[in-house]
């Protein structure tokens, strides 16, 4: 599975959109981009995933560039409860193992 | 609530002992994964089972073993425990196709 690069930390103001970048320049054509988050010591929580097209659900939007070498997770209106470590993961199939990196520590401030 | 249930939530045991962690996957999920998260460490993949068969192995120590039963629940057995085995242990489950894996709330193991 391709490796990903994320900034180690980001701050975001409550109520504003949080845009979390992820680089995956070695992604293959059959690899999906997954986003998870982990709120302090809780189990990781699935957010969203995509292959080529942009995706949106009740939690977030996922924007994947046309060349698929990078993506952005957008939390449209960040709340204090969105403070967490966010992980961008690339893997080839929907049920294979997830390899977690260091992720991005997002802190939402009032 | 992810639908994945892990028991116990907390476990304190002495070095050299053996413990068993249990995971009940979401209804219908055939794959179960185990992860370890030590203090200040990332989530390390240990092992995956699919419908009772071992599917993938990660950085799992020889002192650790797992199995998935016919009812699809899984157990992670940790033996000859050392202080360094103190960690959060997470179980996750998934269907073969779908929205990725869903995690339980973990078992916090403390070895004293």
Q: Is residue A94 less than 8 Å (CB to CB) from chain B?
A: yes
pLDDT at A2: 66
Question: Chain B within 8 Å of A105 (Cβ-Cβ)?
Answer: no
pLDDT digits (tens, 9 = 90+) for A73-91: 999 999 999 999 999 999 8
Residues of chain B positioned with their CB less than 8 A from the CB of A96: 56
Give how far Cα B79 sits from Cα of B15, B19, B63, B82, B111, Å: 9, 6, 5, 9, 11
Half-sphere exposure of B44 (CA within 13 A, CB side): 15
Q: Chain B residue with minimal CA distance to A89?
A: B100
Separation of alpha carbons A12 and A107, rounded Å: 6
Q: Low-confidence residues of chain B, pLDDT below 70? A: 96-99
Mutate to test the interface with A, among B100, B101, B106 (most CBs of A within 10 A): B100
Q: How far is B59 from chain A (nearest CA, A)?
A: 11
Query: Is the distance from CB of B61 to CB of B79 less than 8 angstroms?
Result: no
Pairing between β-strand B87-94 and β-strand B107-111 as defined by DSSP bridges: antiparallel
Tell me the percentage of chain A whose pLDDT exceeds 90.
80
Res. A94 pLDDT band, cuts 50 70 90: low
Tokens of A4: 């990903």
CA A16 to chain centre: 17
């Amino acid at each position: 599975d391709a490796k990903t690069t994320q900034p180690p930390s980001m701050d975001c103001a409550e109520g504003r959109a949080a845009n979390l970048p992820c680089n995956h320049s070695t992604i293959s054509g059959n690899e999906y981009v997954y986003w998870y988050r982990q709120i302090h010591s809780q189990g990781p929580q699935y957010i969203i995933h995509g292959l080529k097209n942009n995706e949106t659900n009740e939690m977030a939007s996922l924007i994947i560039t046309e060349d698929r070498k990078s993506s952005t997770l957008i939390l449209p209106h960040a709340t204090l409860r969105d403070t967490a470590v966010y992980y961008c993961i690339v893997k080839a199939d929907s049920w294979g193992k997830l390899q977690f990196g260091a992720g991005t520590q997002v802190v939402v401030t009032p | 609530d992810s639908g994945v249930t892990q028991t116990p939530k907390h476990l304190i045991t002495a070095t050299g002992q053996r413990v068993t962690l249990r995971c009940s996957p979401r209804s219908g999920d055939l794959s179960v994964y185990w992860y370890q998260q030590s203090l200040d460490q990332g989530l390390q993949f240990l092992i995956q089972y699919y419908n009772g068969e071992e599917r993938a192995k990660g950085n799992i120590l020889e002192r650790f073993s797992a199995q998935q039963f016919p009812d699809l629940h899984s157990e992670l057995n940790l033996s000859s425990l050392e202080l360094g085995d103190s960690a959060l242990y997470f179980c996750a489950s998934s269907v073969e196709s779908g929205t990725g894996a869903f995690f339980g709330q973990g078992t916090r193991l403390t070895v004293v």
